[in-house]
Amino acid sequence: MKLPIDVRESLVEGLDDFLEAFATSPDAEAVAAFVVEQLEAFADDAGIDDIIAGLEESGGIETTLLETLEGELSSNDELEFTGEEVVSLLEKACDIEWEDDLSEELEDDDLEDDDDEDEEEEEDEED
C-alpha cells in the first residue's frame, strides 16, 4: 500500500513522544494501539476509508493489524522501542511504500477523473 511520506514522519515523531513517557520498556499492546489510532486519525484527515483493512490486505495479515503489531512487538527481544523501529516493523508487516508526492498523484487522478466526466457529458450533449 502506498502512503505519503509525511505520514511516516508523523508516526515516527508521535511514537518517539509517546515512548518517552514510559520509564521502562513500554507495553506492546499500548504501542500497537497507539500506532493503529494514529493511522486511523491520518485516514480521517486525508479522507481515506478503511485504511486498517487496506493495510491488513496489503500485508496479507490473517489476524487484525492490532494483534499482528502486538505480537511482533512482544516477540522481538532485540527490538528497541523507538519510533523508527516500530514504524519499520509496520512497514514490513503491511508492505507499505512511502511516496513523496502521493498527494499530488492523488490530485492528478482526481483531475483525470474530472476530465473523463467532462468528455462523457460532451458526448451525451452531442447525441
The pLDDT tens digits of the residues spanning 31-90 come to: 999 999 999 998 888 888 888 998 999 899 989 999 999 999 999 888 888 999 999 999
Phi, psi (rounded to 5 degrees) for 81: -80, 85
**Which pLDDT value is given to residue 113?**
47
Judged by DSSP in three states, 98 sits in: strand
Work out the percent of the chain whose per-residue pLDDT is above 90.
46
What is this structure's pTM?
Answer: 0.74
**Which pLDDT value is given to residue 79?**
84
The CA distance from 100 to 126, in Å, is 41
4, 99 contact by CB (below 8 A) = yes
Which residue shows C-alpha cell 505519503?
4
